[in-house]
Amino acid sequence: MFPLVTWFRGLLLVALSTLSLQVLAFDQYGRWLDLTPPIANDSGSYFAAIAEQPTGNGVKLTGGTFWYGMHLSLAQPEELVIDFRNTFVLASFTHYIFDQDGELIERVQGGVTDPTRGEFFLRHGQSLNLAAGEYRILTRLDSPYFIAVPEPYLQSYDQYQSSTRVPIAITLAGLGIFFALGFYYVVMGLWRRSLGDILYAGFIVGNLVFNSASHLVLRDLFGITGFHLTSVPILFSNVAYIGFVMILLGISQKRSPRFFYVGIVVISVMMLFWPVALLQPQWSLELARYGVGMFALYGLSCGIAQALRRNKVAYFYLVANVAFAIPAFFTISLRNISIADTFLIEHLGLISVGLEVLLLAQVMSYQVGLVYREREQRIREAQQAVRLARESVLAKERFLANMSHELRTPLNAIHGTVELLKSQPLELRFRRQLDTIHQSSKFLLYLINDILDLAKMNAGKMKVVKAPFDLDRMLQNVCDLYRSNNELKEIDLLIAVAPDVPSVVMGDESRLKQVLANLLSNAYKFTDEGGIRIDVRLDSDDQLYFAVVDTGIGIAPEDHDSIFDAFTQVDDSTVRRHGGAGLGLQICSRLVHMMDGELHVTSKPGEGSTFHFTLPKHNHPVAKTNIEKTIGILYATHWQEMAELAEQDLIGMGANIVLMECLDQAYTDDLEVEHWLVFSRHYDSDLLARLRATNGNVLWFLPESVVYDLPIMPGVEFEAAPYGRYHLRRWIGSPVNTTPISPVTESLQNTQIVAVDDNPINLRVVTALLEKLGATVHGFDNALRAIDYIRQHSVDLILMDIQMPELDGLQASERLRAQGFSQPIVAFTANVSMRDREACTASGMNDVLVKPVRMEQLRSTVHKWVLR
Ligand code: ADP
């Protein structure tokens, strides 16, 4: 609304200034003369011509040279201004002023192409100081074309000054609007890459140039006198307008084919105007006039058509178009304008286009608002979709977690039952069938774990933690896991930890363990002879370097990248033999990445593979183990490497070492040795007796198959190979064992264990396994009943399921701890996430056994806690 008020006020002022022109203190009378060809250049004949020459036809809009003669009668001396009515688009003019005697007393000239700045800013007016008397004034006009008829007239100086104020203000305001909006839409168009904005900016800029030239701004401010600037830019702006209207109103080939094709034709015709204007300059303004008529009409008809289709933008556009079209119609058709002498046809044109530009800006703002609201709506919809997707991912994750729990529980039962059955004397064929069931359930369990991990990673739920952990113990756990999973092949495993690797580091123990266990299990799968080793050392950047090296089948170079993709396996036949779903390496690689490392492979077919990665080392301060003792190391040749690793570690701890090969002949009597480390594949009771005779403690590494059948003796520890620093640290730090000699299977005799599981099969399985270990087991399918029993009896260990109705394992553990129960409680669960482990610890539990539980795990865990 605001611009409309401004324009009306401007019009009112123009009208008022017209009134002031009525008071004239002199007479003037003029007419067009028929002076072609121009008369001779002497003032007498000019003077005579004014009175004598016949009246001419006046100015032709397509230009030429024209003459105008005026009589002026002054009763008193006057200061006057001579200017033109109707238009100031004229290339050049000359006024000749004669006195009543025919003397040429003054000659003034000007015009758009005249580089001398006029006496009045933005006007052609020239002042004349004349005494009382009669005068004749002859005006010569030379111009290639006119907008309207430039008719000379005289006005008193003061009146002229005051009556030009409003038109000049209109000029400046109009150009200011063009400049500001033109600039704005050029920037917006380029920024938003919107053709509509750019075309609209083109339309405005065309009008800006045209009006700056025709209103003498270019000449008076910048000295630019190009006359064709007053027509040619309009030819361009007309084309831009048609394109803009088509975009604004959505005129496309598909939606409004008729208007689309008419638009294309109109644009083509208008573009033809350009060369014509170049060749026939006198027609350029006429062509611009037709162009304005055409675009106004085209805009009007498109506007109406689209408004009839209930296009809201079209309603507003129509208002702008009509506001423009009415004054524009007068601008292009009037030859004379009689609002006021100083108010010219160019002012009317400026007002009409200015009005349209402002109203169109409003239309475009409205349209942008529509687009913005639409986008907001779409963003809201997208956010809603994201929320739904997130919820569905969560639901999927929950489903997976529940499913994996539900799947693990029956698997546990299958697994345990099979293990029980396998320990019975069975026919070979049944044993083979049992092996098949056993392998399948094992594979199914891996698969469930992998899919669960992958789902967690995809949902962004897998987090790595950074906490101090015992690297030696972790490596030992990896080894235990490996051993318990792989029984059939005779492949040596070596853990080679460089002595300078700290034993306690910061990081995510369980994730690192998962990666190494996975790589180790692959190495085992794809290696039939030779050995496997885990290398841990510090690299040149002081980072922790881990490698799992095997001497297996190797991987062809072209497969080195693809094996890290999910569900990718190199060779179907090997995989069929070994099982696996192709998820392991993808999980490992992502886990290593989460720990700020990168998993790589170097491998040659037939020569084995090395999977390696480095992780940032964050030390955690640990007290240095210091042993100033003499330790004897005895080894059989095949385990020399292990013996040497132990030697390095012990030297690092400050011990004196006596290293001896060949166990049979080892001469031990004279040595002042406090401890013995032995590495051999066979147990030799004579050797043990000899070593014990030196009064030293013995730590003996043997194959796992041998270790469990050996008796427990004071001062002697048997460990399953491979050697690890963890064993050494534990052994050095432990007091001398004085328990009486007893076979391992008997060691759980008189041990009272309470097992709680709501699943009767699971309970039966775990009870049977524990009983096989020699323990006395009291099974309960309900935690409340179990607590009642524990309160009244002496119990050495509790094995408890987590998910149970009524009172779950965590609550039961909290309750028992609150009641002062101090014996170990071990969780027995299918949930294996870090959070679950933390929850177990928080509730007062000491350890976690993952279902399906295996004989070896059960044995080592129970031993660990019962025989502490
Ligand atoms: P899978 O569970 O099937 O073993 P992985 O992602 O762990 O899946 O491994 C993908 C493939 O990479 C394997 O099927 C195998 O072809 C190859 N591969 C992985 N580790 C080794 C290795 N140590 N030696 C040879 N091939 C390997």
Nearest CA to ligand 1 atom 23: 523
Q: Are 186 and 177 in contact (CB under 8 A)?
A: no
pLDDT for position 837: 79
- 744 band by pLDDT with thresholds 50, 70 and 90: very low
Nearest CA to ligand 1 atom 20: 522
In this predicted structure, the answer to whether residue 44 has a pLDDT above a threshold of 70 is: no
CA-based nearest residue to 615, from 597, 589, 591: 597
Q: Is 232 left (phi over 0), alpha (psi -120 to 50) or beta?
A: alpha
524 CA → ligand 1 middle, Å: 10
Range of weakest confidence among 173-187, 691-705, 815-829: 691-705
- CA 494-498-503 angle, to 5 degrees, is 100
Distance CA 760, CA 781 (A): 7
Distance CA 311, CA 259 (A): 15
The pLDDT tens digits for 192-226 are 898 999 999 999 999 999 999 999 999 999 999 99
In this predicted structure, the answer to whether residue 121 has a pLDDT above a threshold of 80 is: yes
443 CA → ligand 1 middle, Å: 14
579 CA → ligand 1 middle, Å: 10
In this predicted structure, the answer to whether residue 20 has a pLDDT above a threshold of 60 is: no
pLDDT for position 283: 93
pLDDT for position 743: 38
Residue 663 dihedral angles phi and psi, to the nearest 5°: -65, -40
pLDDT for position 740: 33
- Is pTM beyond 0.75? Reply is no
The pLDDT tens digits for 311-328 are 889 999 999 999 999 998
Distance CA 96, CA 101 (A): 14
532 CA → ligand 1 middle, Å: 15
Name the β-bridge partners of 534: 495, 548
The pLDDT tens digits for 380-391 are 999 999 999 988
Range of weakest confidence among 138-147, 660-669, 751-760: 660-669
pLDDT for position 588: 94
CB distance 555 to ligand 1 below 6 Å: yes
Burial state string for 351-375 with b = 16 or more CB within 10 A and e = fewer than 16: bbbbbbbbbbbebbeebeeeeeeee
Residue 703 dihedral angles phi and psi, to the nearest 5°: -65, 150
Q: Which of 522, 524, 577, 591, when mutated, tests ligand 1's pocket best, judged by the most ligand atoms within 8 Å of its CB? A: 522
Distance CA 440, CA 446 (A): 10
Query: Helix (H, G, I), strand (E, B), or coil: what is residue 599?
Result: coil
Nearest CA to ligand 1 atom 25: 554
The pLDDT tens digits for 318-358 are 999 999 999 989 888 888 888 888 899 999 999 999 999 99
In this predicted structure, the answer to whether residue 46 has a pLDDT above a threshold of 80 is: no
Instruction: For residue 698, give the H/E element and its range.
Output: strand 697-702
Mean pLDDT of 276-302: 93
Which has the higher per-residue pLDDT, 824 or 576?
824
pLDDT for position 580: 60
CB-based contacts of 846-853 (< 8 A; 24+ apart in sequence): 849/799, 851/408, 851/409, 851/411, 851/412, 851/762, 852/408, 852/411, 852/412, 852/413, 852/414, 852/415, 852/416, 852/441, 852/445, 853/412, 853/415, 853/416, 853/765, 853/766, 853/769, 853/828
Of all atoms in ligand 1, which is nearest to the CA of residue 569? Answer: 14
The pLDDT tens digits for 47-98 are 777 777 777 778 899 999 999 999 999 999 999 999 999 999 999 999 999 9
In this predicted structure, the answer to whether residue 484 has a pLDDT above a threshold of 80 is: no
- 36 band by pLDDT with thresholds 50, 70 and 90: low
In this predicted structure, the answer to whether residue 297 has a pLDDT above a threshold of 60 is: yes
The pLDDT tens digits for 635-661 are 888 888 899 999 998 888 888 888 887
Q: What is the mean pLDDT of the chain?
A: 84
DSSP 339: S
CA-based nearest residue to 719, from 729, 474, 622: 729
Distance CA 694, CA 676 (A): 9
- 40 band by pLDDT with thresholds 50, 70 and 90: low
The pLDDT tens digits for 685-697 are 888 888 887 777 8
Q: Are 366 and 313 in contact (CB under 8 A)?
A: yes
Q: Are 336 and 146 in contact (CB under 8 A)?
A: no
Q: Which of 574, 585, 603, when mutated, tests ligand 1's pocket best, judged by the most ligand atoms within 8 Å of its CB? A: 585
Cα separations in angstroms, 233 against 273, 321, 324:
12, 20, 18
The pLDDT tens digits for 698-742 are 889 988 777 766 766 777 888 888 888 888 877 776 443 333 333
Q: DSSP assignment of 449-460, as one string?
A: HHHHHHHHHHTT
First to last CA, the chain: 91
- Percent of the chain residues topping a pLDDT of 90: 43
583 CA → ligand 1 middle, Å: 9
Token reading at 83: 């200017």
- Contacts for 426 with CB less than 8 Å, ≥ 6 apart: 434
CB distance 552 to ligand 1 below 6 Å: yes
CA-based nearest residue to 611, from 621, 603, 601, 619: 601
pLDDT for position 685: 83
Q: Are 345 and 337 in contact (CB under 8 A)?
A: yes
- Percent of the chain residues topping a pLDDT of 70: 88
